[in-house]
Amino acid sequence: MILQKVPPEQIIIRPPVEAYSVLIPVTGGCSWNKCRFCGTYGGVYGVIQDYAIRPLEDVLRDIDSYSERNYHGFPVFLAGGNPTSAPTDYLVKILTHVRKKLKNVPRISCYAKALDILRKTDDELKQLAEAGLDIVYMGLESGSSKILRIMKKGTNAQSMIIAGKRVLKAGIKLSLYVILGLGSYELSEEHVKETARVLTEINPTIFRFRTLNILPNTPLWEDYKSGKFQLLKPVDCLKEEYEIIANLGPNVTSQVYNDHISNYCSLESLNIKEDREVFLKTLESYINDPRIKNLPRKNLTHM
């Protein structure tokens, strides 16, 4: 199948939580685009999108258009794999224009990579916060540097910790993604312990669980099809989530969500420090439920 290349103004994905937001494309593709579990911009959705930063005037024109059509009072999502890869002054102009043109915007958000954050100074991050960036969504995926290396994430646990802390210090909220099953059975224990350790170090505003599904057109697909990489059973994904929550330090006050079609539960907490006991008891009841023990995988091929 020949995959069509699409321009950066075409939005391919956005977080589920941004389903009712004004979506403004800022960058196309992903500046890294090498993660073995991800084919978002490499054909998973039937198209390919190269990394690009859109011309500023085009982005500002989109914002003006939303203003003229009275899209006021909605959250705004700056789209693209990682708009924070763009120059800070460029982003500040976009954020300022959103705040100027769209009234009563409760939240401006975007995806970010740890590398993007590490390349910006503390002053630059503060500028983004002051211009109106409220929250960034960043893929932690795992706290294990070994797993991150295997999956070609392009970062390690310590870099994630530094980047996460710097985001929070700048006054920007941080939502991290954790992928259950990313270490397969072989590295499951390390995945759990190291992820809990990194989450404890950062204490992000939010962390969200996702369950690994290996999609066609991802580099990990061939390993899965050949049997080299084994997907966890649903009950074992829930066990990983249980152990991550159980191993968090007492300082962690994060919101926790299972807000994705890939997940096998929909538990959430507005403060995991306060809710940890009931959260764990509920997970335990799922794990011990015979229906869950025999539940087949969803085996999603698109999300």
Report the alpha-carbon distance of residue 287 to residue 210 in Å, rounded: 17
54 and 103 housed in the same domain:
yes
As a whole number, mean pLDDT of residues 102-124 equals: 98
88 and 155 housed in the same domain:
no
Which residue range(s) make up the domain with 143? 135-297
Domain count of the fold of the chain: 2
Q: Which of 111, 133, 155 is the last residue of a domain?
A: 133
Return the closest-CA partner of residue 79 out of 65, 94, 68: 94
215 and 279 housed in the same domain:
yes
Report the alpha-carbon distance of residue 147 to residue 203 in Å, rounded: 21
Residue 10 domain flag? yes
Place of tokens 């697909």: 221
In the structure, what pLDDT confidence band is assigned to residue 38 with cuts at 50, 70 and 90? very high
How many other CB atoms are there within 10 angstroms of residue 186's CB atom?
11
Residues 250-272: pLDDT tens digits? 999 999 999 999 999 999 999 99
As a whole number, mean pLDDT of residues 169-196 equals: 98
Report the alpha-carbon distance of residue 289 to residue 34 in Å, rounded: 38
Q: Residue 270 maps to which CATH number?
A: 3.30.750.200
As a whole number, mean pLDDT of residues 26-53 equals: 94
Say if residue 49's pLDDT is above 80: yes
pLDDT of amino acid 186: 97
Return the closest-CA partner of residue 186 out of 214, 157, 144, 154: 144
pLDDT of amino acid 147: 98
Place of tokens 């909605």: 74
Say if residue 101's pLDDT is above 70: yes
124 and 139 housed in the same domain:
no
In the structure, what pLDDT confidence band is assigned to residue 182 with cuts at 50, 70 and 90? very high
Residue 44 domain flag? yes
Say if residue 1's pLDDT is above 70: no
204 and 236 housed in the same domain:
yes
Sequence length of the chain is 303
Residues 170-181: pLDDT tens digits? 999 999 999 999
Report the alpha-carbon distance of residue 253 to residue 106 in Å, rounded: 22
Give exposure, 280-294, as e/b (b: 16+ Cβ within 10 Å).
beebeebbeeeebee
Report the alpha-carbon distance of residue 217 to residue 79 in Å, rounded: 22
Amino acid symbol at 113: K
Residue 303 domain flag? no
pLDDT of amino acid 2: 75
147 and 274 housed in the same domain:
yes
Say if residue 140's pLDDT is above 70: yes
**What values do phi and psi take at 211, rounded to 5?**
-105, 130
139 and 109 housed in the same domain:
no
Residue 61 domain flag? yes
pLDDT of amino acid 303: 65
**210 CB contacts (<8 Å, ≥6 apart)?**
177, 178, 179, 180, 260, 262, 263
Q: Which of 69, 103, 133 is the last residue of a domain?
A: 133
Residue 115 domain flag? yes
What stretch of H or E contains 117?
helix 114-119
pLDDT of amino acid 299: 77
121 and 159 housed in the same domain:
no
Residue 42 is classified by DSSP as: B
Return the closest-CA partner of residue 83 out of 110, 109, 56: 110
pLDDT of amino acid 50: 96
Residue 302 domain flag? no
In the structure, what pLDDT confidence band is assigned to residue 243 with cuts at 50, 70 and 90? very high
pLDDT of amino acid 73: 97
Return the closest-CA partner of residue 183 out of 148, 225, 234: 148
82 and 146 housed in the same domain:
no
105 and 171 housed in the same domain:
no
Residue 13 domain flag? yes
Say if residue 278's pLDDT is above 70: yes
Residue 204 domain flag? yes
Q: What mean pLDDT is reported for the chain?
A: 96
Q: Which of 133, 163, 196 is the last residue of a domain?
A: 133
**Is 76 within 8 Å of 95 (Cβ atoms)?**
no
219 and 149 housed in the same domain:
yes
Q: Residue 77 maps to which CATH number?
A: 3.30.750.210
